[in-house]
Structures are given as structure tokens and as C-alpha cells.
Amino acid sequence: MSETMKARAASLAHLRRSKLGVGDPIPVPLTMASIYHAPGDATGFNQYGRFSNANWSATEEMLGHLEGAPCVAFPSGMGAISAAFFALLKTGDRILVASDGYHTTRILADRFLGAFGVKTDVRPTASFLDGGFQGYRLVFIESPSNPTLDICNIAAVADAVHKAGGLLIVDNTTMTPFGQRPLDLGADIVVAADTKAPNGHSDVLFGHVASRDPDIVAAVTEWRQNAGGIPGPFEAWLVHRGLETLELRFDRMCSTAEIIAPRLNAHPAVSGLRFPGLEGDPSHNLARVQMDRFGFLISFDLGSEERAEAFINGCELMHAATSFGGVHTVAERRLRRGDAVTPGFVRLSVGCEPAEELWTAMKASLDRLDG
């Protein structure tokens, strides 16, 4: 971890310190309120639950501390992505989206932005620089892409997009700020699903937009206030709690993935394994430069739907579930979500279980495929 991120990790749990009076609770209290005592001039304090909430602010402060940029919280990752799109785009704009990223982003762009006259083009993450960026108001990438784990050079894309007069959004869900900080690489906006590793306990949906451009932050904040897609205070409170252990969990998950990926890759039942941390992976050389960690997602092929299902359901330390980044190891056959992958393609999210025990359980399930 860089010195900067070590310092941010250390102070993360102490952000409230300077605001505490004697006798105040050290953990952030839950503020469930739609209305506030608001006499006189209606400025300078909480007015209404759609405008502000103490739990949103506390969670945004933590996220902002990690991103090194102001953050605006949303009730889901898609809520954050929608806010960035709808607050910044207008009829006649063109956008460019990765063809192999999170599929819902493309559905949102095609179906809903399309209806307002915003045109969407797509391009694969691995060759994202090819073709240039002329004419695009917004360019949206995910690196590593979910679920095939290709990456692209974020700094080079940011530079080329800026020269063409556009803005670059990076969906950093797969990495979190402890794995990669796209704003430091030149991106204008980071969006992320805190549903995943930042909350980490698979019990909440949440998201955020981060940007160092005050106009962008103002635009998405205004969108939230007026469109009404606001986070629940309790959900914000849970994400606040989750963030206190993000560094610890992320470190464990990434370290375990580094142990397990080469062993999976060497197993005869596994083919086409992708993990940016694996020497020889097409993403590896760039990942070493651009990312602080290699992440906790591994994808591979088990040859058929039946074998993939048997592996997932037969592993006693793995849940069959969509989503990723939680304390439990989970895996999913991504064809069932409509990704452009083979029937036996598995996306594995390594959890917080001890590495050797987890590997023993995975190996037993793999060995049983041919038993």
C-alpha cells in the first residue's frame, strides 16, 4: 500500500474525532428523520430527508477520504451511474461504453438514455484506446472489467478523452480505492457499487459518485435531491460500519486470491483462467503499474454448465450467488446473467475465509468433477 493510502486507512476510523463533544457516542448514531426542527430562515441546517442526512454525510466523508475527492452517496451502484449519466448528458450527446463491462450500464444507456436522444457506442476494454474518442461527451470504462477481467490503460484513456474534449467516468467497483484510484490517473469521475466490497457483508445496496470537479459534484447532488433516488439512513449507517474494516477485508481477499489463482490455473479441470495478478495474464503488466492490488475476482472455464454448477454447489466454503466482494466466497456462472461468455464460465469472488481451508474445499470440489 502507498504511504498515502496507509495514512488514509489509519485515520479512517477517526474522522469523527474532531466533531465529538464530551459524552458523545464514538460510533456514528443513526438519524432516522424526514423532517427537522427548522424555524426561520431555511438555510444552513438539515431541512428535509430528501435534501440531507447525517448518516449520508458521515459515509460520504469516509468514502471521500479514501477517494481523495468529494463523494455523493446513492441507494445503489446503478443509482450512482444513473445520476452521473442523467445529470451530465443532454439530447444529441454521444457516449462510449465498454462492451464487456457490467451489463446493466449498457441496458441503462441503450434503453433509457437512447429514448432521450443520447447515442451509445460500445468497444472492448482490452482494445479501448483503438478508434479514438472524437465526438464523445462521456466515455465510461471499467478496469478490470466485470466479469472477464480485461483492463485498459486508464491514464492513457483519460488523456486521449480529454484531448477529444470529453469526460472519463471509471466504474471502480471491482477494485475499491484500496486497489486503484482512477481520479489520480486522470479520470474525471469515479462511480462505484458500495454494495460490493465497501459494505462487504452482502446486506445492503449502496453506491457513490466521486469527482474533484465541483460542478460535477453539484450536478449529481442536485440530481439526487430532485430525482429523489436517495440512500436510506440505515443503509448509509451499515456502509459506514463496513468501511471501517474495508482495508482489512480487501487485503485478506486479494492476498487469498493471489494464493488461489495459480493453484486453480494449474488444476486440470480449469481452463481460460483470468486473474490480473497471474504472470502471463494479458492484464498483468499493465495491472502491476496501474493497480495497487490485483483484486479478489478470478474467472475461469470449467467446460460446461453441468461441471460449473457441480463445482460451485459442491464446494462447502462457497455460495452460489451473484454479486461479489462480501465476506463469503461466492461464485456464479455468468451466462445466466446474459454476459457474453461460455456456459462453463465461472466468476469467483474470493471471500475472507482462511486461504488454505478455502483452497482445500475448492480443490475437493474440482477433484470430484472427474471422480
Ligand X SMILES: *Cc1c(COP(=O)(O)O)cnc(C)c1O
How far, CA to CA in Å, does 115 sit from each of 56, 110, 112, 135?
32, 8, 5, 19
Joined grid coordinates for residue 2: 502507498
| Contact pick of 125, 195, 211, 342 for ligand X (by CB under 6 A) | 195
Part in contact with ligand X (CB under 6 A); list of ranges 107-115, 120-128, 132-140, 193-201: 193-201
* Locus of grid cell 472519463: 168
What CA–CA distance (Å, rounded) separates 2 from 221? 31
| Contact pick of 53, 148, 173, 211 for ligand X (by CB under 6 A) | 173
What CA–CA distance (Å, rounded) separates 365 from 101? 29
What CA–CA distance (Å, rounded) separates 287 from 93? 32
Residue with smaller CB distance to ligand X, 224 or 307: 224
185: nearest Cα among 164, 168, 165, 173: 168
What is the x/- site pattern for ligand X, positions 198-237, by CB under 6 A?
-------x-x------------------------------
Residue with smaller CB distance to ligand X, 81 or 308: 81
Part in contact with ligand X (CB under 6 A); list of ranges 58-66, 74-82, 180-188, 222-230: 74-82
Positions 77 through 116 that interact with ligand X (CB under 6 A): 77-78, 102
- Interface with ligand X includes 146 (CB under 6 A)? yes
Nearest-approach distance from CB 7 to ligand X, in angstroms: 27
Residue 217's H or E segment, with its range, is helix 214-227
What CA–CA distance (Å, rounded) separates 268 from 18? 56
- Interface with ligand X includes 193 (CB under 6 A)? yes
Of the chain, the end-to-end C-alpha distance in Å amounts to 42
Nearest-approach distance from CB 132 to ligand X, in angstroms: 25
| Contact pick of 171, 247, 332, 339 for ligand X (by CB under 6 A) | 171
For 135, phi then psi, to 5°, come to 90, 0
Nearest-approach distance from CB 76 to ligand X, in angstroms: 3
For residue 98, list its beta bridge partners. Answer: 123
Binding residues (CB under 6 A) for ligand X: these are 76-78, 102, 142, 146, 171, 173-174, 193, 195-196, 205, 207
